[in-house]
Amino acid sequence: MNTLSVATIATNDVSVGQILGYVVLGLLLIFVVVALVRSVRIVPQAVALVIERLGRYSRTLEPGLHLLIPFVDRVRAGVDLREQVVSFPPQPVITSDNLVVSIDTVLYFQVTNPRSAVYEIANYITAIEQLTVTTLRNVIGSMDLEQTLTSRDQINGQLRGVLDEATGRWGIRVNRVELKSIDPPQSIQGSMEQQMRAERDRRAAILTAEGVKQSQILTAEGDKQGAILRAEGAAQAAILTAEGEARAILQVFDAVHRGDADPKLLAYQYLQTLPKIASSPSNKVWIVPSELTGALAQFTKGFGGAMTGPEGPAPDSGRPAGTSPLGADLPPVSLRDPSEALAEARRQSEAATADATSAGTLSGAPRDPAAEAGQHPYTPREGDQPTP
Domain spans in the chain, listed from the N-terminal domain onward: 2-79, 84-184, 222-277+288-314+324-358+366-372
Percent of the chain with pLDDT over 90: 15
Sign of CA pseudo-dihedral 322, 324, 325, 327: negative
Across 38-42, 276-280, 333-337, the highest mean pLDDT is recorded for: 38-42
Residues with Cβ within 8 Å of residue 58, at least 6 apart in sequence: 51, 52, 73
Nearest in space to 84 (alpha carbons), one of 111, 61, 103: 111
Mean pLDDT check: name the lowest of 191-205, 260-274, 368-382. Answer: 368-382
Residue 180 Cα to chain centre, angstroms: 34
- pLDDT band, residue 252 (cuts 50/70/90): confident
- 84-184 CATH: 3.30.479.30
Mean pLDDT of 276-298: 60
Please state the pTM of the whole predicted model: 0.46
142 DSSP β-pair partners: none
Question: Residue 212's pLDDT is what?
Answer: 93
What gap in Å lies between CA 345 and CA 18, rounded to an integer?
A: 148
Specify whether the CB–CB gap between 18 and 11 falls below 8 A: no
- pLDDT band, residue 68 (cuts 50/70/90): confident
Mean pLDDT check: name the lowest of 113-122, 267-276, 350-359, 369-378. Answer: 369-378
Give tens-digit pLDDT for 34-64.
888 888 888 999 999 999 998 899 999 999 9
Question: Residue 264's pLDDT is what?
Answer: 64
Question: Residue 309's pLDDT is what?
Answer: 42
Torsion of CA 258, 264, 269, 274, to 10 degrees: 150
Mean pLDDT check: name the lowest of 48-57, 148-157, 206-215. Answer: 148-157
Q: Is 90 exceeded by the pLDDT of residue 210?
A: yes
Angle at which helices 338-362 and 186-259 pack, to 10 degrees? 80
Mean pLDDT of 133-155: 87
Specify whether the CB–CB gap between 172 and 129 falls below 8 A: no
Question: Residue 369's pLDDT is what?
Answer: 44
Percent of the chain with pLDDT over 70: 65
Mean pLDDT of 267-281: 66
Give tens-digit pLDDT for 300-313.
665 554 444 444 44
